[in-house]
Each structure stands twice: as structure tokens, then as C-alpha cells.
């Protein structure tokens, strides 16, 4: 008789689901901090994301059930949106600085590999 695989227990109370929900909350706070240009909240968010990433790194993709996979995808999407907002803000700042001082032609930096 073949064994049947039982799906993982619902993740409502699992540490993984809790950590992913915390990550989603941190990413939402980060987005609000980006919108408000709040440097203090951005630093706090970065620290919290780093700590949660350390916790999540212990669990590989095989440890995900349907719910936690959905939470992980939500976190990935939020992180991608925040990354795009950060890049747009950086590009805006660069454009304004260039408009103030004109284009500067800095020598190209070349980096040799560390030996």
C-alpha cells in the first residue's frame, strides 16, 4: 500500500508564518517611510528586515506550505516595489544635483579584483 503524503499543518501558528507576516509589516512600514522620506524609519526598517532575513534563512523553500509560500510571494512583491521606489528617489536626487551643478565628468573608476 502506497503512503499518502499529508500536507503541512496550517501555518497560522508556525514561526515561519509569523516571521513572514512580520516581514510584510516591516516592508509596508518601509514603503511609508520612503513616501515620507523618513530616514530614521528607513534605518529601523532596514535593521528589522535584516534580522528577519536571518531568521528566514534557516528555512529553505521546501519548508513552505501553500500559505507560507503565498506570504513569501507577497513579501517578495512588496520588497520589489520598495526597491523600485528607492531607485526612483535616487534617480530623482541625482537628476536634481546634476541640474544644480551641471554634468560632471568624473574619471571612470576601475576596480581590480582583490588578490
pTM, two decimal places: 0.72
Domain count, the chain: 1
Q: Has residue 112 been placed in a domain?
A: no
Q: Has residue 77 been placed in a domain?
A: yes
pLDDT for the residue numbered 50: 96
Q: Has residue 2 been placed in a domain?
A: no
pLDDT for the residue numbered 60: 73
Low-confidence ranges of the chain (pLDDT < 50): 1-11
| Residue 35: domain span | 14-101
- B/e letters for 1-38, b = 16+ CB within 10 Å, e = fewer, are eeeeeeeeeebeebebbebbebbbebbebbbebbeeee
Amino acid at each position: 500500500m502506497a503512503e499518502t503524503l499529508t500536507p503541512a499543518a496550517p501555518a497560522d501558528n508556525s514561526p515561519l508564518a509569523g516571521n513572514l507576516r512580520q516581514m510584510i509589516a516591516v516592508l509596508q512600514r518601509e514603503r511609508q517611510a520612503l513616501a515620507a522620506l523618513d530616514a530614521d524609519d528607513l534605518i529601523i526598517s532596514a535593521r528589522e528586515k535584516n534580522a528577519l532575513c536571518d531568521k528566514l534563512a534557516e528555512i529553505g523553500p521546501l519548508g513552505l506550505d501553500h500559505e507560507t509560500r503565498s506570504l513569501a510571494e507577497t513579501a517578495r512583491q512588496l520588497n520589489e516595489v520598495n526597491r523600485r521606489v528607492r531607485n526612483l528617489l535616487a534617480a530623482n536626487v541625482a537628476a536634481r544635483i546634476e541640474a544644480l551643478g551641471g554634468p560632471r565628468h568624473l574619471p571612470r573608476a576601475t576596480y581590480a579584483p582583490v588578490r
